[in-house]
Amino acid sequence: MSETKTLLILPGDGIGPEVMSEVLRVIEWLARHRGVTFEVGQGLVGGASIDAQGTPLAEETMARAMAADAVLLGAVGGPKWEALPFEQKPERGLLRLRKEMALFANLRPAPVFDALVDASPLKPEIVRGLDIVIVRELTGGVYFGEPRGISDLPGGGRRGVNTQVYTTEEIVRIARVAFQLAAKRHRRLCSVEKSNVMESGVLWRQEVQALHDAEFADIELSHMYADNCAMQLIRDPRQFDVIVTDNLFGDMLSDEAAMLTGSLGMLPSASLGEADADGRRRALYEPVHGSAPDIAGRGVANPLASLLSFAMCLRWSFDLAAEADLIEAAVKGVLDGGMRTADIMQPGKARVSTRVMGESILRELDKLTA
Ligand code: IPM
Ligand code: MG
């Protein structure tokens, strides 16, 4: 295959650069040992970009992201930039990437690794074997709906407005991704909204049901209110296979699902656009965790969510399932071997730094391919 595969790496803020450098080492390993090479570019996003060029995302970086086969992002945000006006915050850089690349489908798997069953705050018998995926709509809803803003009221005081809005087209395309994913898994889809209080939720439920009846009648579909789903995720998370939900509920439920697995530091995500005629889609991969400013720069962050995001990238953007499997097996291997970063530390295990965790992954990759 002579076609060059282009990757744009945007490490971002906080622990982003630290975890991303471990991904870079795995990228080098793939070149050396598997002959899989990428043309890797790097750029700035978020606070790092604000500090260097006065904007959370430069036009030039946006253009490179549009042209890349895939974007790998670390994390954005931090206390340093919190007081900035809304449009200039680090998070706007990420939101703009999602919106302009039209990455409407956000896949957030939350598998519980056997070795980490005890790291979950829930009882082992509730989470053992858990394997769910949240499919979150990512370019619509209250995150982008108009009108929005803060205005002064004539009599004093102010008014803050955001708009939750979904169209048939937006609902159907995200539901289709979720049904297709469920078809490759345990064939169960739970659609989550608040149709008891929101018209956008009523429409969501109707459109998902209609798509089911028309094209995916062989997938078991259920509907759930978002508050109940938050509760069911704690009560009995294994009842779920794939969950599809809107931007805001997906944001919240995926943090909750992440915690079931023991650590936000373990969870990857893929954000995908519509496939073109050749089956190619724009894509961005990032860990679900944030920039963790409290531990940034100390070399203790968990790089596994970023590495697993890179594995998703190999699988979804480059059809490199064998290499993706290898990385996932290496992660499992180091965990089984007792390596733990601080966030997943357990009694009797070896507490290691970001760097040592990365090195252990490389050693495990060597072993798996020896
Ligand atoms: C996420 C994050 C983002 C979001 C922030 C950083 C804008 O929480 O990816 O879940 O709210 O979508
Ligand atoms: Mg979030």
Query: In the chain, how many domains are there?
Result: 2
How high is the pLDDT of residue 279?
80
- Does one domain contain both 134 and 202? yes
Q: Which residue's CA is the closest to the ligand 1 atom numbered 4? A: 251
Ligand 1 center–CA 269 separation, angstroms: 11
Shared domain check, 177 and 119: yes
Distance of CA 171 to the CA centre of its chain: 19
Residue nearest to atom 12 of ligand 1 (CA): 251
Residue 258 pLDDT > 90, yes or no?
no
Q: What percent of the chain has pLDDT over 90?
A: 92
What amino acid is encoded at 313 in this protein?
Answer: C
Rounded CA separation 82/35 (Å): 43
Domain that holds residue 208: 112-263
- CATH number for the domain spanning 358: value is 3.40.718.10
Q: 267 C-alpha vs ligand 2 centroid, how far in Å?
A: 12
Mutational test site, ligand 1, from 45, 57, 94, max ligand atoms within 8 Å of CB: 94
The pLDDT tens digits of the residues spanning 13-43 come to: 999 999 999 999 999 999 999 999 999 999 9
Task: Classify residue 3: in a domain, yes or no.
Answer: yes
Kindly report, residue by residue over 51-109, the tens digit of the pLDDT.
999 999 999 999 999 999 999 999 999 999 999 998 899 999 999 999 999 999 999 99
Alpha helices in 77-225 (DSSP H): 90-100, 124-127, 168-184, 199-215
Cα distances from 148 to residues 85, 144, 268, 340, in angstroms, run 14, 8, 30, 43
340 pLDDT above the threshold of 70? yes
* Domain termination residue (choose one: 245, 263, 281): 263
Please tell me the predicted confidence (pLDDT) of residue 1. 44
The pLDDT of residue 2: 46
Count of CB atoms situated within 10 Å of the CB of 172: 15
Mean pLDDT of the chain: 96
The reply to whether 194 falls in a domain is yes
d(CA 313, CA 285): 6
User: Is 277 found in the same domain as 258?
Assistant: no
CA distance linking residue 287 with residue 110, whole number of Å: 12
Pocket of ligand 1 (CB under 6 A): 77, 91, 94-95, 251
Give the ligand 1 atom nearest the CA of 77: 6
Q: Is residue 189 part of a domain?
A: yes
Distance (Å) from CA 159 to ligand 2 centroid: 25
Task: Tell me, yes or no, whether 142 and 230 share the same domain.
Answer: yes
| Residue 52 and residue 191 share a domain | no
Candidate of 92, 95, 251, 259 to mutate for ligand 1, largest count of ligand atoms within 8 Å of Cβ: 251
Judged by average pLDDT, the poorest of 52-66, 224-238, 260-274, 319-333 is 260-274
Catalytically active residues are 143, 194, 227, 251, 255
Q: 64 and 195: one domain?
A: no
Does 256 lie in the same domain as 143? yes
Looking at the fold, whether 259 and 307 belong to one and the same domain comes out as: no
Angle between helix axes 304-318 and 16-34 (nearest 10 degrees) is 50
Which of 234, 263, 292 is the last residue before a domain boundary? 263
Ligand 2 centroid – CA 218 distance (Å): 32
Could you tell me the pTM of the whole model? Answer: 0.93
pLDDT digits (tens, 9 = 90+) for 128-154: 999 999 999 999 999 999 999 999 999
Is residue 281 located within the same domain as residue 141?
A: no
Does 268 reside within a domain? no
Whether residue 153 is found in the same domain as residue 52 = no
Do 61 and 119 lie in one domain? The reply is no
Q: Last residue of some domain: 237, 263, 289?
A: 263
Same domain, 36 and 123: no
Ligand 1 atom, smallest distance to 254 CA: 10
**Helix H segments across the chain?**
16-34, 47-53, 59-67, 90-100, 124-127, 168-184, 199-215, 226-235, 247-260, 304-318, 321-336, 354-369
Task: Work out the average pLDDT over 348-357.
Answer: 97
Index of the ligand 1 atom closest to the CA of residue 94: 7
- As given in the structure block, the two tokens for residue 107 are 């896949």
Cα of 200 vs centre of ligand 2, distance in Å, is 21
